[in-house]
Amino acid sequence: MTHFDVLTNIKEKLSSIENIKSLKIGLENGIGSKDCPFIRIISESNTQDLGRDTLMFSVVYGFDVKNRDLESMYEKMYDLERTIRETLEYNTDIGDCFFISTQTDEDRLNNLKSAVSRFKIENIRF
């Protein structure tokens, strides 16, 4: 098993979330409304202590904001955040997964409403 296998396992877990148009590992340039709603899994760092690894990763997710109804987008964003957390937190068989935090786009993107949730998986055994 490698860290890529861990990311693949995370992707498999997240594939159970309904109504996601695009789910990938990595955040490509040019992601836009054609991909929405989307989820991306991004590896941040990994460490090892006493033979067990820890992987820090982010889950980026977003929606197209065609109708400019930001209140509705906030509701969808926080519903998806909750679903992602419920899907991953304490629910992996590769280690102990914990939610750390979420950072929103602060309404700075013209066409998307997005957020990044950070997670940590501890006690990964290779």
Residue-wise DSSP of the chain: --HHHHHHHHHHHHTTSTT-SEEEES--TT--GGG-SEEEEEEEEEEEETTEEEEEEEEEEEEE-TT--HHHHHHHHHHHHHHHHHHHTT--SSSEEEEEEEEE-TT--SSEEEEEEEEEEEEE--
Q: What are 33-71's pLDDT values in tens digits?
A: 889 999 999 999 999 988 889 999 999 999 988 767 788
| Residue 107 confidence (pLDDT) | 82
Per cent of the chain over pLDDT 70 is 99
Q: How far apart are CA 35 and CA 16, in angstroms?
A: 17
Is the Cβ–Cβ distance between 94 and 9 less than 8 Å? yes
Is the Cβ–Cβ distance between 62 and 115 less than 8 Å? yes
Give the β-pairing of 22-25 and 96-104.
Answer: unpaired
| Residue 67 confidence (pLDDT) | 65
Per cent of the chain over pLDDT 90 is 65
Phi, psi of 79 (to 5 degrees): -65, -45
